[in-house]
Amino acid sequence: MNNVITDLKLINTDSLFLHEPTEQLRLDKISILIEKEGIIRNPLMATPLEDEKYLILDGAHRTAALKKLGCRRVPVQVVQPAQFQLFSWDHIVPLGDWLQQLYNIPNLKWSSEEPEGDSLIATSVNANGTVHYAFADFIHTEEEKLDIWCQLVESYSQQHSVKRLPHRECLYPEEDFILLQYPAYTLDALKRRVLNKKTFPSGVTRFLINGRLLNLSIPLDILISETANKKEWNQLLERFESKIRLYSESVYFCEA
């Protein structure tokens, strides 16, 4: 069997762990769409965490939606760390009153001078090129620093539309917007956070994954049934193997 197909697993939902929170409106929209179609088009992407647990890299809202729809297991393409890279997303956000809330976050300080050490949390850039640095003041643990970062992102992500861009792809935002640049963390830091039953901020982790399986259209019935139908699943795997094609050329994809 093709190696990429052997990486496709049916995994119980209670063995999957998210590294970022979900947004209720987006979750409801995705749940309705999946239920209407009766299929999950693309498998979730995950990497081993520990003791038969898996960390979802891509597909937090689809994971939550499938759980909401009563799925006992979900299709997961399991990838090893050598198969992906972890970067960060920068955020462009409309200016607003939320900016004043940032000054009320405990132990979060702002300066026009870049801080020393590893206390940096974010870099803000205005349309006129003014740069400020947000850093953790009197914080010595990774956990506390990440807690502050979560508060920063929550101050705008729940109220405003956020445009995500690869780190440092944009140098200056348009008028009436602010650019927030975030540093990348390691996979080990991500795992530690999740095992401590916490999450990273929403929409800041960017995974570049090689060899994604797409357009499998797996029926929900096999995911919802009380017991896993191994015969039906193996038949699906055989069908996928006979139909998958690898396209090495670059493509442009328009997201819905």
Give the tens place of pLDDT for each residue, 181-207. 999 999 999 999 999 999 999 999 999
Q: Are 220 and 120 in contact, with CB atoms under 8 Å apart?
A: no
Same CATH topology for 3-79+210-243 and 87-206?
Answer: no
Burial of 101 (0-12, 13-18, 19+ CB in 10 A): middle
Residue for token pair 């006129």: 128
Q: Are 120 and 152 in contact, with CB atoms under 8 Å apart?
A: no
Q: What are phi and psi of 147, to 5 degrees?
A: -60, -45
Amino acid 256: pLDDT: 54
Domain 87-206 is in which class? Answer: alpha beta
Give the tens place of pLDDT for each residue, 30-76. 999 999 999 999 999 999 999 999 999 999 999 999 999 999 999 99
Where in the chain are the domains? 3-79+210-243, 87-206
Domain range 3-79+210-243, CATH architecture: Alpha-Beta Complex (3.90)
DSSP-derived secondary structure for 46-65:
EEE-STT-EEEEE-HHHHHH
Give the tens place of pLDDT for each residue, 82-138. 999 999 999 999 999 999 989 899 999 999 999 988 899 999 999 999 999 999 988
